[in-house]
């Protein structure tokens, strides 16, 4: 799958009239391709997460298009778009959201059962990969713990395992190393790199410059404008 942002824009009105538009993302082109890690850096409020959310099918652009294999993502109705995201996209949210009254493993497996008719084999594969990822990140022993009992860094790692357990074709990771120490930062970045090497398209939005070492393409956003990060 190839995902492209084609002249996408996002703006908000401050007061009345078009002259009061605030552009969170100015006209931007960006392509995500299988096997590639794209790293997006920039200050808080520069438009990084807004651009990611538009490409992830979570935020409708005000201008331009998001194309998935040449087809307009936002031409789909809400149900079709939700099913497409669930079946093909993996999302690590900046907020590290988990359902507190479910166990860690139940949180990880939750996306797999929302739309798809899971077989016993596919359930087992997702659980095995989820546990493998948890073990690599040092939280394998927490599989049966309630998510509300976890620390911030542990919740972050659960979100990463949840996003990758279904082997998505496109992965979006918003500040995936926030709350993590140096060792776990390297482990998480290596996991995302490995996902790309297994033919996923990966986008990482981050303040962590260490992520640039794992990137095939690196960009920077300033005031809603995207440029190459040399």
Contact by Cβ (8 Å): 151, 70: no
Closest C-alpha to 89, from 169, 162, 174: 169
Q: Helices in the chain by DSSP H: which ranges?
A: 48-55, 78-88, 104-109, 120-136, 152-164, 182-197
CB neighbourhood size of 64 (10 A): 18
User: Domain limits of the chain?
Assistant: 3-228
CA dihedral in degrees (103, 109, 114, 119; nearest 10)? Answer: -130
CB neighbourhood size of 123 (10 A): 13
The CATH homologous superfamily to which domain 3-228 belongs is: P-loop containing nucleotide triphosphate hydrolases (3.40.50.300)
Tokens of 224: 């809603």
Tokens of 12: 């908000």
Q: What is the pLDDT of residue 116?
A: 58
Q: What is the pLDDT of residue 147?
A: 95
Q: What is the pLDDT of residue 183?
A: 94
Q: What is the pLDDT of residue 115?
A: 67
**How many angstroms separate the first and last alpha carbons of the chain?**
26
Digits of tens for pLDDT over the chain (230 positions)? 999 999 999 998 876 666 678 899 999 999 999 999 999 999 999 999 999 999 999 999 999 999 999 999 999 999 999 999 998 999 999 988 999 999 999 999 988 877 655 544 566 788 899 999 999 999 999 999 999 999 999 999 999 999 999 899 999 999 999 989 999 999 999 999 999 999 999 999 999 999 999 999 999 999 999 999 86
pTM of the model: 0.93
């Amino acid at each position: 799958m190839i995902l492209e942002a084609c002249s996408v824009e996002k703006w908000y009105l401050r007061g009345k009239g078009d002259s009061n538009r605030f552009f969170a993302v100015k006209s931007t082109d960006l392509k995500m391709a299988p096997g590639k890690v794209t790293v997006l850096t920039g200050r808080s409020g520069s438009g990084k997460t807004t651009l990611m959310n538009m490409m992830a099918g979570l935020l409708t652009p005000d201008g331009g298009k998001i194309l998935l294999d040449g087809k307009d993502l936002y031409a789909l109705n809400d149900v079709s778009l939700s099913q497409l995201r669930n079946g093909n996209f993996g999302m690590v949210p900046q907020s590290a959201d988990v359902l507190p009254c479910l166990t860690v493993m139940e949180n990880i497996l939750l996306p797999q059962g929302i739309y798809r008719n899971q077989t016993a084999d596919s359930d087992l594969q997702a659980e095995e990969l989820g546990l493998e990822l948890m073990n690599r990140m040092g939280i394998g022993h927490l599989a049966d713990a309630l998510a509300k009992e976890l620390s911030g860094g542990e919740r972050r790692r659960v979100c990463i395992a949840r996003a990758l357990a279904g082997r998505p074709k496109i992965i979006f990771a918003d500040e995936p190393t926030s709350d993590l120490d140096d060792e776990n930062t390297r482990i998480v970045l290596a996991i995302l790199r490995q996902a790309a090497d297994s033919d996923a398209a990966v986008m990482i939005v981050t303040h962590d410059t260490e992520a640039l070492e794992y990137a095939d393409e690196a960009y920077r956003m300033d005031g809603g404008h995207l440029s190459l990060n040399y």
